[in-house]
């Protein structure tokens, strides 16, 4: 199995000028599949079209940061789109959905959008790709209340070992990306080293969460140097960082994390089936 980037916003405007070149570079680096999560109703079509254009996969959902601008009937649009695309093998999850308690949002509203999207995912028997920034315990609460058993991925996980285990107990995998490459991320790197091998999937969140080799410090940005743009081509190097923390062979780690991705998002398997 090849590298799988389980979270990559390849449809983002940051890639408009060179999207095909970015995807070609990732493929040359060994990244055979990117999962492209939508973030709002007006990005559903772009996520799907991008996945089809490059042989990738996609998810449909309303990101918590987009709930302030979302209309209530966007949830109905999501329901309709999920039903209409049920036969599309490249639709693999509902996402990116969840909660964000880092940004000042209308919490009751984002929580309602999460509850409704969990209901839709359950009805369509799809896993979910979860945004859990500073909200792990509350997301877990809503998963339990919904009796959600479809699994999926806790994207950009940065919680405690106990919280990690709670997600694993619910059938989820944990997404690790650029944040784990920073030496100062002690707890995250410890988790990457100690979690069971079948707990982790790899992601870039491109163009966001750049690994340390792309990061530009605030003082340099203030002087006009732009932040490094993350891309799916960085996934193998991120993966090698995690493999190094675990003392794992890189080739074996590639195989393991690909299997993990297929377990988290079962519809991916059809994209790798031999004709």
Q: Which helix (H) or strand (E) holds 131?
A: strand 128-133
Residue 22 has pLDDT above 70, yes or no: yes
Q: Tell me: is residue 131 an annotated ligand-binding position.
A: yes
Describe the crossing of helices 235-246 and 186-194 by its angle, rounded to 10 degrees: 70
Q: Which residues pair with 91 in a beta bridge?
A: 58
Q: What is the pLDDT of residue 41?
A: 98
By residue range, what is the domain housing residue 173?
3-266
DSSP code of residue 229: P
Which candidate, 209, 179, 206, 211, places its Cα nearest to that of 8? 206
Residue 202 domain-assigned (yes or no): yes
The long-range contacts involving 101-109, CB below 8 angstroms and separated by at least 24 positions, are: 101/133, 101/134, 101/135, 101/138, 102/133, 102/134, 103/65, 105/64, 105/65, 105/67, 105/68, 106/67, 106/68, 109/67, 109/68
| DSSP-H helix ranges across the chain | 19-28, 44-54, 74-84, 107-124, 136-145, 161-169, 186-194, 218-222, 235-246, 250-264
Residue 272 domain-assigned (yes or no): no
Residue 179 domain-assigned (yes or no): yes
Residues 6+ apart with CB under 8 A from 81: 44, 60
pLDDT band at 100 (very low <50, low <70, confident <90, very high): very high
Q: Tell me: is residue 205 an annotated ligand-binding position.
A: yes
* Region of poorest pLDDT, from 100-109, 123-132, 163-172, 216-225: 216-225
User: Could you read off the pLDDT of 150-168 as tens digits, one per residue?
Assistant: 999 999 999 999 999 999 9
Largest CA distance in the chain: 53
Residue 45 domain-assigned (yes or no): yes
Residues 6+ apart with CB under 8 A from 24: none
Count of domains in the chain? 1
Q: What is the pLDDT of residue 215?
A: 87
Residue 57 domain-assigned (yes or no): yes
Identify the CATH number of the domain in which residue 83 sits. 3.20.20.140
The overall pTM is greater than 0.85 = yes
Residue 79 domain-assigned (yes or no): yes
Residue 273 domain-assigned (yes or no): no
Which candidate, 108, 44, 112, places its Cα nearest to that of 79? 44
Is residue 101 within 8 A of residue 135, CB to CB? The reply is yes
Residue 162 domain-assigned (yes or no): yes
């Amino acid at each position: 199995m090849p590298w799988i980037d389980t979270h990559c916003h390849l449809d983002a405007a940051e890639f408009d000028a060179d999207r095909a070149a970015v995807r070609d570079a990732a493929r040359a680096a060994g990244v055979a599949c990117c999962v492209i999560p939508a973030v709002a109703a007006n990005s559903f079509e772009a996520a799907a079209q991008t996945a089809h254009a490059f042989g990738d996969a996609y998810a449909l959902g309303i990101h918590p940061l987009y709930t302030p601008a979302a209309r209530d009937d966007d949830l109905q649009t999501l329901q309709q789109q999920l039903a209409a695309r049920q036969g599309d093998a490249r639709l693999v999850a509902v996402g990116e959905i969840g909660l964000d308690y880092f940004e000042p949002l209308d919490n009751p509203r984002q929580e309602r959008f999460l509850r409704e999207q969990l209901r839709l995912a359950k009805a369509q028997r799809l896993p979910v790709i979860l945004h859990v920034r500073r909200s792990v315990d509350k997301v877990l609460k809503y998963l339990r209340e919904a009796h959600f058993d479809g699994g999926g991925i806790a994207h950009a996980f940065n919680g405690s070992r106990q919280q990690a285990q709670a997600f694993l107990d619910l059938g989820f995998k944990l997404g690790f990306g650029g944040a784990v490459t920073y030496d100062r991320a002690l707890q995250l790197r410890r988790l990457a080293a100690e979690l069971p091998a079948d707990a982790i999937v790899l992601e870039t969140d491109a163009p966001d969460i750049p690994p340390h080799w792309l990061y530009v410090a605030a003082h340099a940005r203030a002087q006009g140097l732009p932040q490094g743009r993350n891309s799916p081509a960085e996934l193998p190097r991120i993966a090698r960082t995690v493999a190094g923390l675990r003392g794992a062979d890189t080739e074996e780690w590639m195989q393991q994390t690909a299997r993990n991705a297929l377990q988290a998002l079962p519809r991916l398997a059809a994209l790798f089936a031999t004709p």
